[in-house]
Structure 1
Amino acid sequence: MKIERLLVFGDIHGKWDKFLSAYEKVHFNPARDMMIFLGDYLDRGKDPVPVMEWVLGHAHEDNMVFLKGNHEDMFYRAMKQCRDGLGSWDDVELTCELISWLPNGGNATLKQLIASGKGEDLLPAWLKFIEKLPLYTEVQTEGKTYWFMHADCSPELPLTEQSEEKLLWHRHLATHPWDQTGEQTIVLGHTPVQSIGYEPVPQILEEGRLVLMDTGSFLPTGRVSCLDLLTGMVYQSD
């Protein structure tokens, strides 16, 4: 298939209305487009449940790729340590992983899962989904190589040799973009561009070899953003 649009979505963080607003502008066509999500689908935002349902409903759609973010990693570790499920707050055992996750946006997700009454079905499905999420993907089209991961990487290392911690957690390239000296285009989420001095739009840096996609959906000025890497067309939430 010839890719006509190589689309990438930044962090959603449970902001369902913002995500839907951006997604509906894209008019995704799996027969000609490829769409990659950089992770962090939940946490911080108050509407994680419809985001979870949408993602699970599209997880096997052609030419959609969902990557793992650090918030998926935290969610998985916390929930795997909870023996009693999600019946109520009293049923959730406070483990060290849960205590780490809650103040990092997990509190909003857990509250909404419990309030929705859907946690019993959604939780096991989401955990299975996370187990299958890749940490990165590579796309080659129009003579260019694109690397996608949630947070960071070492441009000089092959993707198979990257550390999971760096891929999920680090911010070096976002804060030191001049260190992207490779020929590939590296596309990252994780670091809200507002936090490092940019406007809330995708940032195309280093002559197009580094792209920052987290436009701080949960911040007061934040948006959910999608970018077509082949044309530079930006689709953002209202």
Structure 2
Amino acid sequence: MRTVVIGDIHGGFRALTQLIERADLPAKTKYIFVGDYVDGWSETVEVISFLIDFSHKNECVFIRGNHDELFYKYLASGESNPMWLSQGGETSVKSYMNISRGLKEIHRRFFENLVNYHIDSENRLFVHAGFTNQAGPEYEYYPNLVYWDRTLWEMACAMDISISENDNRFPKRLKLFKEIFIGHTPVTRVGYDKPANFANVWNVDTGAAYKGSLSMLDVDTKQIWQSDPVHLLYPNEKGRN
């Protein structure tokens, strides 16, 4: 079975459907989404409805992102804070203003059932942000670090490329897994517009919340598919700019 990983969507429904159509993958494909489905562009409701329907027809793994957890708290209890609202949360709140109670409950269960990380049969880790514990994400003292941490990506970016896994200086965290696939921190911050790789870490967040594209990566072949830059699909919106 082919396995692909999809970066942070941030309410970009038009980018998501464009990406799926462009890839045109066979029925027996496993889709792993690394989280942050919400907060950015205006079509969060459409994104979640699409993903729920898509998962009925395809094998999917939905990872929890930090924005997803914040939005879940809002759906479940009305909890919100000004910082979250200013970082894209307001667009998600507006997207849900006029939907039915029944649909809102279906979506609430979607967010409730997200997983914090996924490890496949090839010992590849899929997680929204990273982890800090040298024994692995399951041992995090604060479980929510897996969708907030940036240190794993920063460490991978700063590594000397000459250091091999057999070197004592090679980070213990990275030795735990064959490969690690993350989102959370746009690769545009380090000068990339496609999924970027340092050490055995692949980052598939290509800045769809801002002026980048939404990306999909084949975890075996490393083939890449991308949508148009998402801001061009929403010319009258600002996203998280």
| TM-score bin, normalised by smaller chain | 0.7 to 0.9
* 1:165 positional shift: 2.3
Matched, 1:63 2:59: yes
Of 227, 234, 237, which residue of structure 1 is paired with 2:217?
227
2:11 equivalent in structure 1: 14
* 1:205 positional shift: 1.6
* DSSP 3-state at the match of 1:134: coil
CA RMSD of aligned residues (A): 1.9
TM-score with structure 1 setting the length? 0.82
| Contact 1:78-1:98 at 8 Å conserved across structures | no
What percentage of residue pairs aligned between the two structures are identical?
27
1:191 equivalent in structure 2: 185
Partners of 1:155 and 1:185 in 2: how far apart? 17
TM-score with structure 2 setting the length? 0.81
Deviation string 1:114-163 (CA, Å, 9 cap, x unpaired) is 2xx3253332111111111110111124xxx2100111113732342134
Matches within 5 A, 1:1-238: 3=1, 5-31=2-28, 33-82=29-78, 95=79, 97-114=80-97, 117-141=98-122, 145-154=123-132, 156-162=134-140, 163-177=142-156, 178=159, 179=171, 181-182=174-175, 183-195=177-189, 197-206=190-199, 209-220=200-211, 222-238=212-228
Name the amino acid aligned to 1:8. Answer: V
Partners of 2:48 and 2:83 in 1: how far apart? 21
- Moved runs in structure 1, 4+ residues, more than 6 A? none
Name the amino acid aligned to 1:103. Answer: S
Figure out how many residues of one structure are paired with residues of the other and give that number: 212
* DSSP 3-state at the match of 1:124: helix
* DSSP 3-state at the match of 2:36: coil
Partners of 2:120 and 2:50 in 1: how far apart? 24
Deviation string 1:199-236 (CA, Å, 9 cap, x unpaired) is 21100221xx100011110212x110000011110010
Name the amino acid aligned to 2:146. Answer: L
Partners of 1:158 and 1:63 in 2: how far apart? 25
* DSSP 3-state at the match of 1:43: coil
Partners of 2:14 and 2:34 in 1: how far apart? 18
Partners of 1:140 and 1:210 in 2: how far apart? 17
Partners of 1:6 and 1:56 in 2: how far apart? 18
* 1:14 positional shift: 0.5
Name the amino acid aligned to 1:131. Answer: E
* DSSP 3-state at the match of 1:105: helix
